[in-house]
Amino acid sequence: FEQAINTANSFNDYGDKARALSNIATTQANVGLFEQAINTANSINYASYKAEALSNIATAQANSGLFEQAINTANSISDAEYKSQALSDIVTVQAKADLINEAINTANSINNNYSSDKAKALSNIATAQAKADLINEATNTFEQAINTANSIEYDSDKAKVLSNIAT
């Protein structure tokens, strides 16, 4: 990865450099090199690419069962939208791992301004609860997901989220 990073750092165009470093950081995370990935991401001077890389790293950490690290990485993201996406992805992995209480806590940390991510997270928790035969809890969480989706301002976004919850 060192050669790839050196090559990316030689780019004159900041956007190309940031995009390349973001992709390198994501690849490092996907192969389990989380500390290196975070270092690479933190070297990115273009905010959205840095946020995207950190979001991808947090998801990879969660997929590896490193939930505390994943949440810490997600919470380090300055861009609220990428942060909520990362937290929603972590919730999905926690719910699939039957870590329902942890998933609920993570979902509750998602900023309400990003209701689509929060609704998705709650829907995934409800699915996990239903699979675990926790029907009352699943019903309550599903209702929370619908209420969260209904708080979305734009009808087209609301329809998309409600459609996703229904499937």
Which range, 110-114, 139-143, 145-149, has the best average confidence (pLDDT)?
139-143
- Whether the pTM exceeds 0.75: the reply is yes
Cα–Cα dist 10/13, whole Å: 9
Confidence band of 9 (pLDDT split at 50, 70, 90): confident
Cα–Cα dist 139/128, whole Å: 11
Tokens describing residue 58: 């947090």
pLDDT reported for residue 67: 97
Q: Does pLDDT of 140 surpass 70?
A: yes
Q: Which of 26, 27, 20, 19 is nearest to 5 (CA)?
A: 20
Instruction: Output the CA torsion sign for 76, 82, 87, 89.
Output: negative
User: Per-residue pLDDT tens for 104-132?
Assistant: 999 999 976 667 888 889 999 999 999 99
Range 23-34 average pLDDT: 96
User: Per-residue pLDDT tens for 150-162?
Assistant: 888 888 878 888 8
- Weakest-pLDDT range from 11-15, 30-34, 67-71, 112-116: 112-116
Percent share of the chain, pLDDT over 70: 98
Q: Is 78 helix (H, G, I), strand (E, B) or coil?
A: coil
